Structure 1
Amino acid sequence: MTAENYVVKYGSLLKEETLEVIDDKILPNTIVLEATNPFPGYYEYYDGFQKDVQPHYIYLVLDRKYDLEEFTRATQKIMSYFEANFHAAIGNITIYNDVYHAIRIRRLTAYDQIKELQSCYREEGIDFKSGATIPHNSKAMIQLDKFFALDIIEDGFFKDHIEPNHGYFTIPQKLNWKQFEQLTKQVKYNMEMIHFDVSLGFIYDHFRAIDMIRVYAEDLNLDLMKKIKAKYLERIK
């Protein structure tokens, strides 16, 4: 990709995943969750495929909602000295109608780094929830507010500039999760056993909210994204 095709946009991503509770290698009396299978729509067809990928996506549960500036400035400072080149996004997790504010962490290289990173956030003024119990293997709705680094492939199609096998395509209207879930079942039923995982999102662009779908698949390419988008557009009313 040429430099002029690389853009950064702010937006949001919504997905459903099963989260496991991490019981050790964390600060005492805090809550840390892990998505051990972060792309279930893809990996459900490949049992055990992710077992060697550790650590997975980590969620640090916060004591309250922090605004974007608080979170960004704290993360920016920590990144200047922390041992791992991690990536962080802020958002919330809904489990059984209970909402938890959280930081999603990617790219840690060892579980021992979780406790160290928690300590760094605490030193920078961001603290963690205590006194709550979350069941193991909880199904959760996860909403992340984040910056997207996007390579423009074609009008309405993007690849993630940082994360491999992540792509995005725009859709003409906002969908709620129930609509999206139903459409996805219909699309997958008509995709001739092509396996992929999807999430729902949007980005801000030129004072507008642009709705889109994030696709994850190994060796993701423009042709596959076009096929998936066409199936969704056939069904979006």
Structure 2
Amino acid sequence: MKTKEVIGKIIKQENISTIDQNKLPNTFVINVPDPYKSYYNRFTHINKPSSIIFVTKTPNSFENILRTTKKINETYNLNLVAAKCEVNINRRKISGIRVRGINRYNEIPQIQQYYKDAGFDFAKSEKFEDLEALIRINRFMNIKELEKGFYHSSTEENAYYIEIPKHLNWDEFRTMTYEIKNNISDKNYDIALGILYKNGGITEILRVVRPNISIEMLKTIQEKYLKKLQ
């Protein structure tokens, strides 16, 4: 199947922690656990960062983040993937740059410096551990269609996307997900809410993360949500 690049948004709930070392002094950096690893064991030590958020004083445009990241990659021979990010913690909203492709935690300060040199202004340091947060990420996605309404990420091996016919707000999605997870035999997957901008409009989706998930399992998950949406 041909791979398509689309713009999308993912909304997910994660327990996040600040990074208190390996960062520029007095800056606010958040570690977001890998969706699949976090489902089984949120506290496993991972040498390679999965997702890092550089919290900024003010929101930055998606275009500026992409343009700056492209220049950093070209200048320093890196392979960073950055996105616009918003984090909600206890009704407090903070903005940042979600960065993937950092190989080691000790690389974070230098990468921060590249963004700082490009004009990004980082928020002052905070400290917390395992705090529940709602994260919204605007990003490009490379996807290929498995069957009508079902997609597999070409860049994230364990990520899949399922179309649904109706918009859900976060509270509706959370309630449905709780009920479905308690009434399905195989609960070993991570799920998030999202949208794709394609074909001149918005397509509502669910993002599922699980290694080697079958199309049958994806259809089962879709069916559970469709019944709730009726």
TM-score (norm 1): 0.90
Range that drifts further, 47-56 or 63-72 = 47-56
- Number of equivalent positions: 230
Deviation at 1:134, TM superposition (A): 4.6
**Equivalent residue letter for 2:13:** E
Is the aligned partner of 1:59 residue 2:56?
no
2:97 corresponds in structure 1 to 103
Query: Structure 1: any 5+ residue segments left out of the alignment?
Result: none
**Equivalent residue letter for 1:10:** I
TM-score (norm 2): 0.93
**Does the 8 Å CA contact 1:90/1:146 hold for their aligned counterparts?**
yes
The change in CA–CA distance for 1:33 and 1:52 in structure 2 (over 3 A counts) is closer
1:133 alignment partner, one of 126, 133, 144: 126
Report the 3-state secondary structure (helix = DSSP H, G, I; strand = E; otherwise coil) of the residue aligned with 2:68: helix
2:35 alignment partner, one of 33, 39, 43: 39
Query: Structure 2: any 5+ residue segments left out of the alignment?
Result: none
Deviation at 1:139, TM superposition (A): 1.0
Deviation at 1:52, TM superposition (A): 4.0
Measure, in 1, the Cα distance between the counterparts of 2:185 and 2:70. 44
Measure, in 2, the Cα distance between the counterparts of 1:82 and 1:213. 35
Report the 3-state secondary structure (helix = DSSP H, G, I; strand = E; otherwise coil) of the residue aligned with 1:30: coil
Measure, in 2, the Cα distance between the counterparts of 1:52 and 1:147. 25
1:16 corresponds in structure 2 to 13
**Equivalent residue letter for 1:212:** I
Q: CA RMSD in A?
A: 1.9
Deviation at 1:50, TM superposition (A): 4.7
- Kindly report structure 1 stretches of 4+ aligned residues shifted beyond 6 Å: none
**Does the 8 Å CA contact 2:72/2:78 hold for their aligned counterparts?**
no
The change in CA–CA distance for 1:47 and 1:123 in structure 2 (over 3 A counts) is closer
Measure, in 2, the Cα distance between the counterparts of 1:82 and 1:136. 32
**Equivalent residue letter for 1:51:** H
Percent of residue pairs bearing the same amino acid type = 28
Report the 3-state secondary structure (helix = DSSP H, G, I; strand = E; otherwise coil) of the residue aligned with 1:9: strand
Deviation at 1:49, TM superposition (A): 8.6
Measure, in 2, the Cα distance between the counterparts of 1:196 and 1:154. 20
